[in-house]
Every structure is written in C-alpha cells, then in structure tokens.
Amino acid sequence: MKGIVIALDWIDGREVAVLLRDGRLDDLLVELPDAPPAPGAIFRAIADRPLKGQGAMLMRLPDGKSAFLRDSVGLKPGQAALVQVTSYVEAEKAVPVTAKVLFKSRYVIVTPEAPGLNVSRRVKDDERRVELLDLAEAGMAGSGMGLILRSEAETGDDAAIAEDIALTRELAEKVVADADGDAPELLLDGPGPHLAGWRDWPAPDMLDEEPGSFARHGVADLLDGLRSDSVPLGGGAHAWIEPTRALVAVDVNTGADGSLAAGLKANLALARDLPRQLRLRGLGGQITLDLAPMPKKDRPAFEGHLRAAFKTDPVDTALAGWTPLGHYELQRKRERLQIPRDLIP
C-alpha cells in the first residue's frame, strides 16, 4: 500500500509497532523483557550523594537502582525530587535523568516547571497558530503549568486536541501532586511500543490496530532482513552492521567490483539507508563506519548524503566526522534498546 501505515499488534504476548512507508519497513518498536527504565519514565527519586566537581547528584530509585542527575543545584541529600529518564544505559551504570520533567502526548507537551503557552515553529499558518493558542488557553486555564502544541496539532481535529490537553494536564497534575515522599517510587512508566508509535510517528494514511494487522500487511516477511547483520546495498555490495560492547561497527564491502566508482556508489547507498537501519535495530551510542575505498574528493558528497538522511531521523545523532584512519564516526542518542536477533518478531 502506498502512503504511511502504522500497524499495532502483539507477538508472543509482547507489544510490537511497525511503521510502513510505501510498503517498506521504516520503523519498528518492540517490547523487550526485563528492560531498564525507558526514556520518559518519571520517578520520585531521593537525593543520595553529590558528585564533587561535577555539579551532579546520585539519586536513589526503587529496587536499589541509582540515577545520575547532572544539574542538581539546591538539592540536598535525603531530599525528594521528580526526575525523568532521558536515555537508556548499560545495566551497571546509573540511569541518566533530568529534573526538567515533561508530559508528552501526540498533540501536546505539558511542562510543569516552564509556564507559558507555545506552538511549534513548524506550524507556519498564522491563523492556525491563533486557533491552537485559544485551545491551549482554554485547556490550561488556572493550571500554572506550561503547554507546547506540537506540529501534529496543525492538522489535528480541534476536539481531539482539546481532549489531549485535558488528559495530559490531568496526568501531569496527578504525578506532580505525588512528588513528595520519603521513598523512591515509579510514578509514570515510559511509553510502550503502541503508545510511542501513536504518539511520535507521523500521522498515518492508515492506522491498523486490530488483531491480525501484521498478517494483513505482510510484516513477517519485512522483518526477515533484520535477522542478519548484512544489509544489501545493490550491485553486489553489502554493509555489515555489527554492535559490540563499545560501539557499533559498520563495514561496507563492494563485493567483486573493487573500483573506486563502486566504492563511492556503495558508500552513498549506505548513507541513504543508515538512519533507517539503526532505527530498525534499536542501535545507538558510538558508531564507526569503515567505508569502501573512495577518493578523498568524494568525501563531501558522502557527507552531504549522510547529513540529508539524518535530517529527518527522529533520534538525535551527531556527525562527528573523519578519523585519521579514514573512518567516519557518529554519536547517536540511546533512545532505544538494541533488539536481540532472537527477539525479532
């Protein structure tokens, strides 16, 4: 099917969400067993001890876990504070959190500590901006909290937006009211695949959330390619995407054609598809590209393709540049967990 399709289903009792774009698998979210706290989870945490010279504080979470709060000005040991998980981290490390808690839904973001009403800069129509601000004023009157209307609100139904404001405000007020306490507690879990897909993916031409949606859209066949580290790039070229403990290594090989022209072609193909491959595999952190041989004069063309590909990717990725050995490095936020091959639906 042409256009954007979001399919939500369950596999082996686990939530799975897929985004299809013109019949091609574009994004994948899978509920993983024994996962650490997900980005977006909100805790009542207890300040444990300051980290001298860093302006940071170690915080106590439930079940003996620790959190790392970078900006802890004014916070004293033993004091309770609301914190929100910002990214995933290895099991033995403290969970990274922020005190700037926000409540995100499809159309709105409620900001308890940042009062004021704002509309996304992506909403360019002045008349629509005024309409959205009117909805915000009506929905947030007397709350003392801030609200941001997301870009999805530009084409959203006013009644749905008003309902979203009311529900998100109610949730924020409930969590904030439970901020004080003597013990750490999980107050709001991070979003599961179904909620995250509905909330963060673009408005679809079709939302299929009825049981059997994956069978109707042939999702099983589309997932087959993720069971291998090898990614075909056309013309006999392949890339191997191999996560290690320290980094994600990406190796580009042109196969039988060892010419510089073939190397450039394969490298450009990788650049165009790399953001999608990283999304589908849940990979982040340091990423090192061992590219196929190509002339140095073609490096700007490669960087241009890479920059354009990541421009529309939802996960923050910094393009660090070339190493002395000719590798290209990126740093990608760990917003997702790597999907083990044996857990790919």
pLDDT digits (tens, 9 = 90+) for 50-77: 988 788 999 999 999 999 999 888 889 9
Q: Please write the tens of the pLDDT for every residue from 176-219.
A: 999 999 999 999 999 999 999 999 999 899 999 999 999 999 99
Phi and psi dihedrals of 274, rounded to 5? -60, -45
Q: Would you list the domain boundaries of the chain?
A: 4-31+202-218, 42-98, 103-191, 228-343
Does residue 343 have a pLDDT over 70?
no
pLDDT bucket at 340, cuts 50 / 70 / 90: confident
Structure tokens belonging to residue 11? 């596999």
Tokens of 222: 């589309």
pTM of the shown model? 0.88
Question: Identity (one letter) of the amino acid at 104?
Answer: K
The one-letter code for the residue type at 18 is V
pLDDT digits (tens, 9 = 90+) for 28-55: 999 988 888 899 999 999 999 998 878 8
Which amino acid appears at position 335 of this protein?
Answer: E
CATH 1.20.120 fits domain 103-191? no
The pLDDT mean for the chain works out to 93
Hey, how many other C-beta atoms are within 10 angstroms of the C-beta on 37? 21
Closest to 242 measured CA to CA, from 307, 177, 289, 201: 289
Contact 305, 288 (CB under 8 A): no
Give 73-129 pLDDT, tens digit per residue: 888 999 999 999 999 887 778 999 999 999 999 999 999 999 999 999 999 999 999
| Domain at 42-98, CATH homologous superfamily | Nucleic acid-binding proteins (2.40.50.140)
